[in-house]
């Protein structure tokens, strides 16, 4: 467990290929373990990051191999903060409608559940876009 005031920061860059999602998951899994989360919470964090990175490849870049995903994290005594950065198409989460989870499957939209799952699994989710800095998705998970 971390000391009261300590912080651990780490970052890595992954090419935007679906095959690299496993490497990103391992990077994030190690961060979550180092932050002291239990295995169920670690899985939730991995799932949210996997969905976010898949969305970066598919939506921001428009396909595989068209850009990198910069992953960084900071571990502090109360939380794990993960930042995913890309230089693809900007994303405006307010334009995505909440999925109707009560609708029959055949009436549901093909997309939109990923963002819903990310928001359900992570305590704080924020999106920032700057033409110089790119897209930055910040995910914060608090320790109980």
Phi-psi region for residue 120, left (φ > 0), alpha (ψ -120 to 50) or beta?
A: alpha
Q: Is 138 exposed, middle or buried (0-12, 13-18, 19+ CB in 10 A)?
A: middle
Classify residue 2: in a domain, yes or no: no
Mean pLDDT of 53-63: 94
Q: What is the pLDDT of residue 2?
A: 47
Per-residue pLDDT at 3:
45
CATH number at residue 44: 3.30.565.10
Q: How many domains are there within the chain?
A: 1
The residue to which tokens 């191999």 are assigned? 65
Q: With bands split at pLDDT 50, 70 and 90, how would you rate the model's confidence at 1? A: very low
Contact 13, 67 (CB under 8 A): no
20 confidence band (pLDDT: 50, 70, 90): very high
- In a domain, residue 77? The reply is yes
pTM, full prediction: 0.85
Per-residue pLDDT tens digits for 67-112:
999 999 999 999 999 999 999 998 766 666 665 555 565 565 666 6
User: Which range of residues forms the domain containing residue 16?
Assistant: 8-142
What pLDDT band is residue 137 in, cutting at 50, 70 and 90? very high
Residue 97 lies in a domain: yes
3 domain-assigned: no
């Amino acid at each position: 467990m971390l000391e009261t005031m300590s912080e651990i920061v780490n970052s890595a860059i992954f090419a935007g290929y679906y095959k690299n999602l496993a490497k990103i998951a391992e990077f994030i899994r190690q961060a979550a373990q180092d932050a002291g989360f239990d295995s169920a919470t670690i899985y939730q964090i991995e799932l949210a990051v996997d969905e976010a990175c898949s969305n970066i490849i598919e939506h921001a870049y428009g396909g595989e191999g068209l850009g990198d995903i910069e992953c960084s994290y900071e571990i502090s005594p109360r939380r794990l903060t993960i930042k995913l950065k890309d230089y693809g198409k900007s994303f405006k989460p307010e334009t995505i409608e909440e999925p109707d989870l009560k609708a029959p499957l055949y009436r549901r939209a093909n997309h939109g559940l990923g963002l819903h799952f990310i928001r359900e699994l992570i305590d704080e989710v924020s999106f920032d876009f700057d033409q110089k800095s790119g897209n930055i998705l910040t995910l914060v998970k608090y320790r109980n």
